[in-house]
Chains A and B, each alone.
Chain A
Amino acid sequence: MIVEYLVGLGCTIVSWLTSLLPSWDAPSWFTGFGASFNGFFANFDGFGAWADWTLIGAVLTAVLGSWLAVAAVRLLLFVYRLLPFTGGS
């Protein structure tokens, strides 16, 4: 019960903090970007024999994912340095 209470209290605080963030509804063009993206490449479906697009897609995904991961780590470090008594000034 004690642990449940503490976990529940922590979750309540986190939920409250997240509730302070502004609400937002993604516009349709953003939510439908996947369909637009796939639809765009569907126009070039006939060029599938000229390259292994699956391999190229995997390589691009790996490179982009790695870059985003590094960027996320740097962002977290940046936020961490803003906190008093930690790494910030």
Chain B
Amino acid sequence: MRLRALASGSIVAGILAAAMALGVAAPADAAGLGSDAFGDSNLLNYRSTLTGAALYAQNSTAAKTAWGSNYVANVTKSAAAARAGAVYGNIESVPDAIPIRQMGDIPVSPKLLGNWKAPRFTGVGLNKPSGVVGATVAMTAFQYRADIANGVTSWLGIDATGAVCGSSWASSGFVNFITGQDCNAFDASQAAKDAANQDVVPGVSGGKVCDPAAPAYCITLERIATYPPNPNYGGLCFAETGPASSGTGRFALAFSDGVVDYTSSGGDGGQNLGATCPAGQLWVNGYRGASMPYARAQLVTRYGFANGARDAWAASTPVVTSDGDPDRQLLCTYTFSDGTSANGVTTSFKDGEAMPAPLCPVVPSGLTAKHIKVEEIGGGVDNVLTDQDAAPDTLTTVPDGFTANAPAGVDATYCQTNVCLLDLIDVKSNDTCFDEAATCDGWFSDPNRDADYKCTYGGKDADMQQCYMYAHVFNTSKRLAGDAYADPKTGEDVGGETGPDLDTQTMGNSPAPAINPDGSIISCLGGTYAAFNPLQWVLRPIQCAAEWAAVPRPAVIEADIQGVQHSWDQTAPGKLANAVAGWNLQPVMTGCAGYTWPNVYGSGKSLTMGNACPGQPLAALAVWSVRITDVLAVVGGGLALVRIGSRAFGQEGPDR
């Protein structure tokens, strides 16, 4: 199971890496952004393309991490990553804790154990230490029941995971719970391939092949119609040319597992299972009779049909072929500054596998790339992955819209000879927050934010909004909680995970200065030398030192608590508590119409019981019922509370 998860994770990582590579070459649309790469609505892209490489190459380690992590998060919005995400969903994080089953590997001195012996678990007596140990062992064994079972059955050559997860009955019911098999990633590679190739139109890639047994008869498979709501069904649409069948010809389907079956064939156009066949096309449905995990029906043959009896199957030579997993390529086309263009094509790859970086052409000397277009081709499709003007770091001229966001005087030419970094500056010290992260802690919520901080790009003042992406980077609690990402347009929390070392890197090793509640730096010496006051000269520094040493910053304490909370939430008791907290038990019983029993014993008549709506005979009785049950509930509940409370303090009732 872990190997399956590892393999699945590797595939996704490969796709993401390819997406990143694609993003480096063509960042804007590869990140799922609009073609208006430099418009006001595309601040994120502006930041990524303009500041990315320079920030990563020249700023601090913290900046690298912050930018890199954000960029990865943004790039995952690309078409390829979204496609993978739709298949895999959330990939489980690999726990970094020592599993309790490995605690035996921790060396313990025999002297420390003394004469202690492992208690015998009798299965009873849970109020004794031996019972607690036994129960813990049993619970641990149950927790790892799937690993244990898989290990044992693998010795016998049995695929326990496949046995459970391959059955729709077992994989989603009590059997799955008892066996503990994780079916989430079962056959994920096939699921990925099936989902990734949904754009393949059968009949286009494979073309049409005439039936060798009836050379004049040709069929073109137009559409495969799988039917997800009921996996037992599949169907397809097709067009035929040749002699009129006149009701004597029927068609068979081959499903993804190779089984050939037939139930019905239809007429001209109309509703098929899962798809509507266009006018002029025929349809045929197939009922597999058993679940097809990933149905992909294929029209295989034509057989005779006369007088209500089917003839024997004809030769199973497919009359139509289609490649469900065709070869793909990435086509990268540059349009140069002189209007000419050139392209490059990658080697073939399969959809659902790692996508290679686009192989873009070399820019001729004296020209610049003005426009870039990357397409995924193959399988009869042409998916445009990006189609945009080139990023400014490959230009020598300023593209339209660039000056709307960039500070005055900063353009592509300026950035060729200057360090173009997006930076947040602490106005008090006139230093970058990347060097004094603790001072800038909580800068985004500072009521005097615009006065206390300024945003610069390329050393020139930029609009403060451009630095909203750093809203949580300089926020201790957010950062320690692994949630340092912010919407670059609004500064709002967007969730996500940061690297575990981001805090250390950002905070640096220098001690943080003492901060007043209003955010200003405490002056431990200022002002006290203006007058002769030896007491203050000594007291004030000591007071500062004591405050620095003893008074914790609320944000840090809050972050510590959040860290413990996060750890607890990952444990079984934590998840159990969260699951129970999420139950939201709020049954609603406010109606008065009673209960209606439809079609009583097949009589075609319904029976209504307990209808106490106004005007009904039972309405008055229901009023008294409410009064009586209210009294019973209050008195009974009160007595129960008294009994529970009294026994909690040692008072036992006579019936005990």
Q: Given A11-B560, A15-B567, do A44 and B589 touch, yes or no (CB 8 Å)?
A: yes
Q: Out of B549, B566, B575, which one reaches A24, CB within 8 Å?
A: B575
In the assembled complex, which residues on chain B have CB atoms less than 8 Å from the CB atom of A3? 550-552
A15 to chain B minimum Cβ distance, whole angstroms, is 4
Given known pairs A26-B576, A56-B633, the reply for A14 and B589 (CB within 8 Å) is: no
Closest residue of A by beta carbon distance from B625: A50
Closest to B551 in A: A3
Q: Which of B97, B587, B636 is close to A53, meaning CB atoms less than 8 Å apart?
A: B587
A28–B634 CA distance with the chains assembled, in angstroms: 36
A14 to B565, CA, bound (A): 10
Question: Does B553 interact with chain A (Cβ within 8 Å)?
Answer: yes
A86 contacts the other chain (Cβ, under 8 Å)?
no
Q: Which of A18, A46, A49 has the most CB of B within 10 A?
A: A49
Q: Which residue of B lies closest to A33 (CB)?
A: B583
B568 an interface residue at 8 Å Cβ cutoff?
yes
The listed residue (A14, A18, A38) touching B586 by CB distance below 8 A is A38
User: What CA separation (Å) do A64 and B528 show in the bound complex?
Assistant: 63
Q: How far is the CA of A82 from the CA of B567 in the complex (A)?
A: 25
Given contacts A19-B570, A49-B613, A70-B648, contact A42 B594 (CB under 8 A): no
Main secondary structure of the interface of A (DSSP, over half): helix
| Bound form: Cα–Cα A37–B563 in Å | 33
Contacting residues of chain A (37-89) with chain B, CB-CB under 8 angstroms: 37-38, 40-53, 55-57, 59-60, 62-63, 66-67, 70, 73, 78, 82
User: Would you call A21 and B573 a contact (CB within 8 A)?
Assistant: yes
Residues of chain B contacted by A16 (CB below 8 angstroms): 97
Contacts A7-B560, A59-B637, A82-B129 given: A48-B645 contact, CB under 8 Å? no
Is B585 interfacial (CB-CB < 8 Å)? yes
Number of residues in B with C-beta < 8 Å to the partner?
75
Give Cα A82 to B129, complex, Å: 8
Residues of B within 8 A of A60 (CB): 637
Determine whether the beta carbon of A50 is less than 8 Å from that of B584. no
- Per the 8 Å Cβ criterion, residues 582-638 of B in contact with A are 582-596, 610-613, 619, 622, 625-626, 629-630, 633-634, 636-637
B567–A14 CB distance below 8 A? yes
B636 & A59 in contact (Cβ 8 Å cutoff): yes
Given A44-B589, A46-B592, are A1 and B177 also a contact pair (CB < 8 Å)? no
Q: State whether the Cβ of B100 lies closer than 8 Å to any Cβ in chain A.
A: yes
A63 CA / B645 CA spacing, docked (Å): 10
- Given A37-B587, A41-B588, A49-B591, check contact A26 B571 (CB 8 Å): no
Q: Which residues of A contact B585 (CB under 8 A)?
A: 34, 37-38
> Which residues on the A side are within 8 Å of B560 (C-beta)?
4, 7-8, 11
Interface positions of B from 546 to 567, Cβ below 8 Å from A: 548-553, 556-557, 560-561, 563-564, 566-567
Residue of B103, B143, B549 near A1 (CB, 8 A) is: B549
Interface majority SS (helix, strand, loop, mixed), chain B: helix
Asked whether, in the complex, the Cβ of A48 is within 8 Å of the Cβ of B589, the reply is yes
Q: In the complex, how many angstroms separate the beta carbon of B524 from the nearest chain A beta carbon?
A: 15
| Residues of chain A lying within 8 A (CB to CB) of residue B96 | 19
A12 to chain B, nearest CB (A): 8
Q: Are B595 and A66 in contact (CB under 8 A)?
A: no
Contact of A73 among B103, B619, B648 (CB under 8 A): B648
The listed residue (B572, B586, B625, B636) touching A51 by CB distance below 8 A is: B625
With a cutoff of 8 Å between Cβ atoms, the chain A residues found around residue B634 in the complex are 55, 59
CA gap between A30 and B615 in the complex, in Å: 42
Q: Which residues of B contact A43 (CB under 8 A)?
A: 595
A70 to B649, CA, bound (A): 10
* Contacts A1-B511, A41-B589; A47 near B645 (Cβ below 8 A): no
Q: In angstroms, how far is the closest chain B Cβ from the Cβ of A58?
A: 8
A66–B641 CB distance below 8 A: yes
Asked if residues B591 and A48 are in contact (CB atoms below 8 Å), the reply is yes
Q: Is the CB of A78 within 8 A of B591?
A: no
Q: If the complex has contacts A3-B551, A44-B595, A63-B640, are A20 and B98 also in contact, measured as CB distance less than 8 A?
A: yes
Further contacts, 10 of them, CB under 8 A, given A19-B571, A46-B592: A1-B549, A3-B551, A4-B552, A18-B568, A37-B583, A46-B610, A52-B630, A67-B644, A70-B647, A82-B129
State the B residues within 8 Å of A (CB).
Answer: 95-101, 103, 127, 129, 132, 139-140, 143-144, 177, 511, 548-553, 556-557, 560-561, 563-564, 566-568, 570-576, 579, 582-596, 610-613, 619, 622, 625-626, 629-630, 633-634, 636-637, 640-641, 644-645, 647-648
27 contacts between A and B (CB under 8 A): A1-B511, A4-B556, A11-B561, A15-B564, A16-B97, A18-B570, A19-B571, A22-B140, A23-B572, A24-B571, A25-B575, A27-B177, A34-B583, A45-B588, A45-B589, A45-B590, A45-B591, A46-B594, A47-B589, A47-B595, A48-B592, A50-B610, A50-B622, A50-B625, A52-B633, A55-B630, A66-B641
Which 8 residue pairs spanning A and B have beta carbons closest together?
A19-B97, A34-B583, A41-B587, A59-B637, A24-B572, A49-B592, A15-B567, A49-B612
